[in-house]
Amino acid sequence: MPNLFSGIQIALRALLAQQHSIQVTEHNVANANTPGYRRQQAVLSPGPPFAPPGLHPAPFAGQVGMGVMVQKVRRFSMEFFDGRFREESSAAARYQIQQQALMQVEATLAETGEQGLSTRLEAFWSGWRALSADPSDLARRLDLRQRGEELSAAFQRRAIALQRLRGDQDQAIVQRVQEVNQLAEQVARLNSEIANVLGTGQQPNDLLDERDRLLDRLAGLTGITTAPQENGEMLVSIGGHALVVGGSVFRLTTTPDPGNDNMAAITWEDGRAFQPPSGELAGLLQVRDSDIPARRAGLDAMVAALISRVNALHQSGYGLNNTTGLDFFSGGDALSIRLSAAVDDPVNIAAAAGPDSPGDGSVAEQIASVQQETLMNGGTATLGDYLQGEVAALGLAVRQAEIFARDRSLVAEALEMQRESVTGVSLDEEAANLVQSQRAYEAAARLMTAVDEMLDRVINGMGIVGR
């Protein structure tokens, strides 16, 4: 039943509630610059009213309120924007990683400098033309052999660089898979902790923030989809396959694939193939298994056509010592192309159409004319045209990846700004809340002082009854 001592209880509740509000504000201010932090708010509600018991009506109307209490600590969150943001950020991450890798491929091919293949090819054809003008000149033969070695080395350097770059992407894929498994284990642990805290009736706001940060990173890696559960846990899946269910994790594994140059093949623990719909892993797999092999295949096709045609003409010609039927190049692709051992002696370089013809340069002229032959793309492009087409295709791929990455990043940034406008900490707003809670706390303290004075008057100042 309400009495004079009830005022002490109401004032105490008010002090504790406002103190809790101030602590929440302090927590917000302390984490104003913490990535992924969602602002919190102490939700106040009236305490349960008291209806005085008795057989007769109370001397006052209605129920008597019992002050204020903190109903819960609210966490500002926007699950819809979380899903949209993760979708767009994972797409942006895919194209960003793809753009970065393709730019490395572009730098590897190095077509804009003096060491470009176009320059080396032109020098090679010029060497044959110079030899056709004076096939008996040993210096011109030595110069041609040097140009052939430089052209072969240029092809080899690019093939080795592409091979090394592909290995770098493979190593990055293995590292990303390890990170995915680690993040999944942390999400599973947080699922259990969050469910336990919610089961006690409390709000695990900071645990939810930590889990959201992990989910944002997982989205950037793999393009996950999430589904919240009634008990507070989060179901996480990739491409329709569960990654985290409650406190359980379905891990990813990497094993060498003999059918793909022993590059790492990603599979689930149950043996199913893994194919991320988006994220960094999707970009890395695209570059490693499609983009780089396509560039390497273009180089190999060009080298194979060059070796086949030059060797065919060279075999039909005669050197200064009447040797014939010799290859100028050996190998069959960009990695294995070299000058044939037969032309280590420049005298063996075939320039004449017949024996005992030191002044005949007709075969050398035919080989120089290969520059204008349409050997590529089904007889529609020269070697130079084909190379320029490959360079243009690579430049277009880099440009497209850049455009897609920028567009998706802009959308993700817009969604992040909208999310931050609701869930982020505003220091001005927190300052206003702090003043409001401080004033209410001071008022509650004055209330308690007033009640204390009333009790002191009743207890110590009214004397003893009947005296």
CA atoms of 153 and 147, how far apart (whole Å): 10
- The whole-number pLDDT of residue 2 equals 57
The rounded percent of the chain whose pLDDT value lies above 70 is 94
How far are the Cα atoms of 132, 166, 221, 339 from residue 92, in angstroms, in the given order?
55, 22, 11, 45
Helix/strand/coil for 318: strand
The rounded mean pLDDT for the chain is 90
What one-character DSSP code corresponds to residue 116?
A: S
Closest CA to 118 of 436, 384, 356: 384
Contact 98, 287 (CB under 8 A): yes
What one-character DSSP code corresponds to residue 381?
A: B
pLDDT band at residue 58 using 50, 70 and 90 as cut-offs = low
CA atoms of 399 and 406, how far apart (whole Å): 11
The rounded percent of the chain whose pLDDT value lies above 90 is 71
pLDDT digits over 99-127, tens only? 999 998 888 876 666 678 889 999 999 99
- The whole-number pLDDT of residue 7 equals 78
Contact 320, 358 (CB under 8 A): yes
CA atoms of 249 and 121, how far apart (whole Å): 55
Strand partners for 339? 329
Helix/strand/coil for 444: helix
pLDDT band at residue 418 using 50, 70 and 90 as cut-offs = confident
Cα-to-chain-centroid distance, residue 90: 7
- The whole-number pLDDT of residue 421 equals 84
The stretch 159-185 carries a mean pLDDT of 95
The stretch 353-379 carries a mean pLDDT of 93
pTM for the full predicted model: 0.86
- Counting Cβ atoms within 10 Å, is residue 242 exposed (0-12), middle (13-18) or buried (19+)? middle
Helix/strand/coil for 273: strand
| Confidence check: pLDDT of 463 > 70 | no
Greatest mean pLDDT among 63-77, 135-149, 385-399 lies in 135-149
| Confidence check: pLDDT of 422 > 70 | yes
More confident residue, 455 or 53: 455
> Six-digit token pair at 457?
């008057």
Strand partners for 329? 339
The stretch 77-85 carries a mean pLDDT of 84
